[in-house]
A = this chain, B = another copy of it.
Amino acid sequence: MATIRDVAREAGVSIATVSRVINHSPRVSDEARRRVEAAAKLLDYWPNSAARSLHTRRHNLLGILLPDLHGGFFSEIIRGIDEEARRAHFQILISSSHANSLAMLAAVRAMRGRIDCLIAMAPERESMETVTRTDHRFPVVLLNPFGNPSGFNSVAISNREGARALVSHLIETGHQRIAMLSGPQTNGDASERLEGYRDALNLAGIHPDPALVIVGDFREDSGYQLAERVLDLDPRPTAVFAANDQMAIGLVSALREAEIAVPESIAVAGFDDTMIAGYISPPLTTVRVDPHALGRAAVAMALKVISNPNDLSTTRELVPTTLVVRRSCGCSTNSAHQVRVSRRTRQPVSNSSSEPVNPAPGAGFETASWEEK
């Protein structure tokens, strides 16, 4: 456990000189540099990051706050984050699956003094409000946040555009009566996908029938259970758009058990293009989201924010989605695997100073403010 003092003594120089060598300062004689390097090797000296960060206030560390770590989606986000971070010699500090916003806040607190920027995924309204409170401790980039929060940098999936493209495809291939298996409306992705569904219908001059929207909970079992309600619709829809692949898969298996042919009797489509989507039978038409790109984009934005600390403008970036046509929608153009790609957009949003981030007076006082345990 050699420290900088040990190295200085060994090299016969002052600690300042050792520090300069370590930090590649040009103001060091070759002779001194040589001796410091030799001493550092001899003692196998590793600088102490905590001491260094304490003084420089730089950490080369990105804090990542996720609701959960489950499933391929999250693992791909993390991989994207890690990949992009490493290119800039940053490491990542992950904290996930917090039972409530107090636990979440405690996790963020523990990051104080260690991270340069926080990347927070807050798909629900409640978690958004929690993240809001962390403001001003370090910069924040939101990952796929609930709603369209102004005053924050964010990176999100183009849910609405993806859903619109998918449903438009269904309409173009002849479907008029299209049901939607929606996700929970407290979830941002779910509500945006529902909007996209409505957009497509409106664009085609079809009046969205509220009876055709059935609310599920994003899980496979939910899709399975709700098949009954889909079949009870009168007249029966010719296609169902599930807000994610898991529900679509549950729906397909329920339909198979009921001996209703997919796609001949009812076409089915999902969203996400999970690993399994291409393996089930029939292979699922869906919208590919690229969680890896999402992670990378978030880090790219975080790095930009870090390097421009006095630029207070905020940006919202949308990561494009891709329509993936497979057999479950029953269209004839199966050769065209990827039909449409939504454009990558980048739009400036309002400056954070123009609007109070947390309007509730004294909101920061509701929980102990420095408490850790």
Bitwise, A107-151 to B at CB < 8 A (1) or not (0) is: 101111110000000000000000000001100000000000000
CB atoms of B94 and A94 under 8 A apart: yes
Chain A binding surface, main DSSP class: mixed
CB atoms of A75 and B71 under 8 A apart: yes
- Among residues of B, the one whose C-beta sits closest to the C-beta of A365 is B41
Interface assignment of A187: CB less than 8 Å from any CB of chain B: no
Interface assignment of A12: CB less than 8 Å from any CB of chain B: no
CB atoms of B78 and A69 under 8 A apart: yes
- Kindly list chain B residues whose C-beta atoms are within 8 Å of the C-beta of A177: none
- Among residues of B, the one whose C-beta sits closest to the C-beta of A136 is B1
A: interface residue count bin: 35 or more
CB-contact partner of A60 in B89, B94, B97, B110, under 8 A: B110
CB-contact partner of A276 in B1, B275, B370, under 8 A: B275
Interface assignment of A95: CB less than 8 Å from any CB of chain B: yes
Interface assignment of A348: CB less than 8 Å from any CB of chain B: no
CB atoms of A91 and B97 under 8 A apart: no
Complex Cα gap A275–B48 (Å): 42
Complex Cα gap A102–B70 (Å): 31
CB atoms of B114 and A94 under 8 A apart: no
CB-contact partner of A61 in B78, B93, B113, under 8 A: B93
CB atoms of B83 and A97 under 8 A apart: yes
Complex Cα gap A60–B136 (Å): 24
- Minimum C-beta distance from A208 to chain B (A): 34
- Which of A49-57, A153-161, A321-329, A332-340 is the contact stretch? A49-57
- Among residues of B, the one whose C-beta sits closest to the C-beta of A21 is B370
CB atoms of A93 and B93 under 8 A apart: yes
Interface assignment of A287: CB less than 8 Å from any CB of chain B: no
Complex Cα gap A49–B49 (Å): 12
- Kindly list chain B residues whose C-beta atoms are within 8 Å of the C-beta of A22: 370, 372
Complex Cα gap A93–B50 (Å): 14
Given contacts A45-B370, A276-B276, 14 further A-B contacts (CB under 8 A): A22-B370, A45-B369, A47-B370, A48-B113, A49-B111, A50-B54, A50-B59, A54-B54, A69-B78, A82-B94, A82-B96, A82-B97, A91-B94, A281-B281
10 residue pairs of the A-B complex, CB under 8 angstroms, read: A1-B136, A40-B369, A41-B365, A50-B50, A79-B96, A82-B97, A83-B97, A91-B95, A91-B110, A279-B279
Instruction: Report A's interface with B, CB cutoff 8 A.
Output: 1, 22, 24, 37, 40-41, 43-54, 59-61, 69-72, 74-75, 78-79, 82-83, 86, 89, 91-97, 107, 109-114, 136-137, 275-276, 279-281, 364-365, 368-370, 372-373
